[in-house]
Amino acid sequence: MANRVAFFVNLTSLALVVLVASVPSVRGAGGSGTFAVIADLHFNPFDPPDLAAALAKSAPTAWPAIFAAANDQAMSRTGEDTNHALLASSLAAFAKAAASADFAIVPGDFLAHGFEEKASKALGVAPTSQAAGEMAVKATIFVADALADALAGKPAIIALGNNDSSCGDYRIEPGGSYLAATRETVRRLVGAERLEPDFDETYAAGGYYAMRHPTVPSALIVVLNDVLWSTKYRDACGTDGLAAAQAMLDWLRGRLARQRAAGGRVWMVHHIPWGIDAYSTINARAATCPAKVVPFLKEPFASEFLALLAEHRDMLQASFSGHTHFDDYRVLIDERGTVIGADKVTPAISPIFGQNPGFQIFTYDRWSGAPRDFSTWYLANPGAAPRAADWQFEYTFTKAYGQPEYSPDAVRTVWKAMSNDGAVRDTYRRLYTVGRGALDAATVTAYSCAVGHMDRPSFTACYCGVRR
């Protein structure tokens, strides 16, 4: 592993001096610590395609030497998934920024979009072939190993995304080969001693599990594979997808009840944000505004999941997701206007949807477990040579939004201000795209409504009431 660390770090070390001393810090005093969040890496091992045959014949531990043959490769450009040059640069920057972090959170999507089709073209096999499936497993393990090296043995809390499958996008097979083949890798990155006793059963069944918090003794981290609840999910390679989705919800209900009895707090890590898909809603072709509204999760899981969060509001301390590729938030508020919790949507490494690659470093209270602040880092020049990689500090939440700390109440305050304060709204639009332009002012209403309206009726009232 030492050789792999040197390979990743040396590739971009000259371009990362900016990360060392000249950047504002989110680290607090006394009992505060930091953790890092990196999401949606979407690694494409088939760029360049001429290495595919050698990769297919080799174990993931041999892949760094194979990729060394493409050492003149430029990093992925905007509109592309993550090639090896961008992955190496991102993890080198991440390693420096997270050098003092206690642990990392990874909310899913290790694999490139259309992975099976890319494997089919590069290897000359069918997308559903065993060879394509094996490449999905190898690529996942390769990225996980690279993350482990970047973190120098610190825990990495891994969730699966919709592309993390050997069957296809939104097609994870419950009890299938991909889950069986990646289980030991997840165990190793999390740390076997932190996992709850039912890890083998729940991960194999659907890619979800619970673990003890790395530093807060009374806190539990629940890792969900909410792809099973997605409106787009189908069990194309198996037969019990619906049963697996229900089993995960039942497991979550029981796990939260046990944690309440124990008197501890809960963090959640998952891939898909709470609530409504603003992008799909804007681009839907339905005839009326209410018909355009697209929830991320299907019923009854969407409503029952939110109801569980509301029921256990006193325990829910933090939540982290990815999926959209942009820097965003969700805040769950009850009918009385009381905040239940917040979900931080982490920007992506893959620049395929137009944002700059980015990741985030959080400060938190090691005694209580409460997150306090975060900063965002981003790559300002995707498409450049790795040695010219310009990784920059972008902003700190409390300074950008004038809040005393990052918290569910602070997110609600920012969200409320977006409707009547043009400066706050413009800050949100600018930061949403991770240093690359700004969110279109003509569409910001949908995104703003999505931050604070998790259920379809309330989002529809917010969005369609403005648009009619």
User: Can you give the pLDDT at residue 74?
Assistant: 96
- Residue 267: which pLDDT band, with cuts at 50, 70 and 90? very high
pLDDT of residue 240: 86
Q: Chain-wide mean pLDDT for the chain?
A: 93
**Segment among 12-26, 140-154, 350-364, 413-427 with least mean pLDDT:** 12-26
> What are the boundaries of each domain within the chain?
2-467
pLDDT for the residue 71: 83
- pLDDT above 80 (res 460): yes
| Residue 82: predicted pLDDT | 98
Q: What is the pLDDT of residue 466?
A: 59
Q: What number is the average pLDDT over the span 117-124?
A: 96
Q: At 426, is the secondary structure helix, strand, or coil?
A: helix
**CB of 380 closer than 8 Å to CB of 93:** no
Residue-wise pLDDT for 378-417, tens only, equals 999 999 999 999 999 999 999 999 999 999 999 999 999 9
- Mean pLDDT over residues 188-201, rounded? 98
> In this structure, are strands 328-333 and 339-345 parallel, antiparallel, or unpaired?
antiparallel
- Please say if the pLDDT value at position 17 is more than 70: no
Q: State mean pLDDT over 175-182.
A: 97
Rounded Cα–Cα distance for residues 130 and 76 (Å): 28
Q: What is the pLDDT of residue 69?
A: 84
pLDDT bracket for residue 7 (50, 70, 90): very low
CATH of 2-467, one of 3.30.1490.100, 3.60.21.10, 3.40.50.2000, 3.20.20.140: 3.60.21.10
| Stretch 32-50: mean pLDDT | 96
Q: How many CA atoms lie within 13 A of 421 on its CB side?
A: 12
Residue 401 host element (H or E): helix 397-401
Mean pLDDT within 101-123: 97
Report the alpha-carbon distance of residue 204 to residue 178 in Å, rounded. 9
The whole-number average pLDDT for the span 217-222 is: 96
- Let me know: does 223 contact 182? Beta carbons within 8 Å: no
User: Cα separations (Å) of 259 from 6, 303, 311, 395?
Assistant: 41, 21, 13, 35
Place of tokens 């089709």: 117
* Interval 228-263: pLDDT, tens: 999 999 999 998 899 999 999 999 999 999 999 999
% of the chain at pLDDT higher than 90: 90
- Block residue for tokens 């069944």: 205
Condensed to tens digits (0 to 9), the pLDDT of residues 358-369 reads 999 999 999 999
Check pLDDT > 60 for residue 18.
no
pLDDT digit string (tens) for 276-304?
999 999 999 999 999 999 999 999 999 99
CA distance 410 to 408: 5
Residue 16 CA to residue 397 CA, distance in Å, equals: 23
Say which residues have a Cβ less than 8 Å from residue 152's Cβ, sequence separation at least 6.
5, 95
Q: Give the separation between CA 170 and CA 182, rounded to whole angstroms.
A: 17
Q: Which amino acid is at 113?
A: H
Q: Is the pLDDT of residue 107 over 60?
A: yes
pLDDT at 31: 86
Per-residue tokens: 459: 């989002």
pLDDT of residue 357: 98
User: CA 93, 111, 115 angle in degrees (round to 5)?
Assistant: 140
Distance CA 203, CA 224 (A): 10
Greater pLDDT, 239 or 5: 239
List pLDDT tens digits, range 312-350: 999 999 999 999 999 999 999 999 999 999 999 999 999
Per-residue confidence band for 265, with pLDDT thresholds at 50, 70 and 90:
very high
